[in-house]
Amino acid sequence: MTATNGTDERPILDTLYRPLERTDLSEQTYEVLKDRILRRQLKPKERINVDEIAQRLGVSRTPVTDALKRLAVEGLVEIQPRRGTFVSSLTAREVAELFDVRAVIELYAAKRILCEGKTDEYLQRIERPMERMRLATTSGDYRDYPAFMDGDRDFHVALVEMAGNSRLSSVYGRLNVHIQVSRAHYLNTVQDAVQALREHDLIIQAFHAEDQQAVERSLETHIQNVKNRILELLETRGGELS
């Protein structure tokens, strides 16, 4: 990771990267780096300095390089021979494709939940995610956007998991990583908290009514709205998240 101003960024780095416990170092390193990318503390196109990360986490280079290889497989970083490792960026086309696939998966999952009579179980599972989203907002604004994102993620992950298809959940899990990255790029700039909560409430109301058409309509509208907000932001940034 290349610092533009070492004296200014070093205190921040000290808080972001704390020495790790001496167990499962590769896994811990992977989780730390993944979290930093998802929360946009490591930004698109930013070069990741292996030696610096290793020093900050109190580990050797091996856990860091192992973690970066995993992240490269997931598409979160790009390892460029003789140049280094960089945080991946997303184009408008990639974002559009991600959300189109997301819609297909979630609409299928919603249909399975309704057909198999799992509505009540799903509604119970999303109580906590919804509560986290509500607590993360106040007066129509985001008080804690990362917490809101976590609640939103769990809301939709629960939907897919309730379909009872482990392979589908696995595919969605890999897809969702990139969805969370794309959402982190319009942090506090595009999505209105009140509208976001209203869209989730409409999905819940449709499930309560066990109205399949209403569920599909509210879910598809929500996914399309988020997609459009990100694409609108991309237009102002030249077609790429950076």
The model's pLDDT over 2-51, given as tens digits with 9 standing for 90+, comes to 444 545 555 555 566 666 665 688 899 998 998 888 777 888 889 999 99
Which pLDDT value is given to residue 130? Answer: 96
Buried-exposed string 180-197: b where 16+ CB fall within 10 A, e elsewhere: bbbbbbbeeebbebeebb
pTM above 0.85, yes or no: no
Domain annotation for the chain: domains and CATH numbers: 6-88 (1.10.10.10), 91-241 (1.20.120.530)
Q: Residue 190: pLDDT band by 50, 70, 90 thresholds?
A: very low
Q: Tell me if 98 sits within 8 A of 175, measured CB to CB.
A: yes
127: exposed, middle or buried (C-beta count within 10 Å: 0-12, 13-18, 19+)? exposed
Q: Which is nearest to 52 in space by CA: 87, 6, 21?
A: 6
Neighbours of 226 (CB within 10 A): 22
- Report residue 98 as tokens: 């991600």
Instruction: Return the residue matching tokens 């449709």.
Output: 206
The model's pLDDT over 129-177, given as tens digits with 9 standing for 90+, comes to 999 999 988 877 778 877 888 899 999 999 999 999 999 999 999 888 8
- Report residue 151 as tokens: 């609640």
More confident residue, 106 or 242: 106
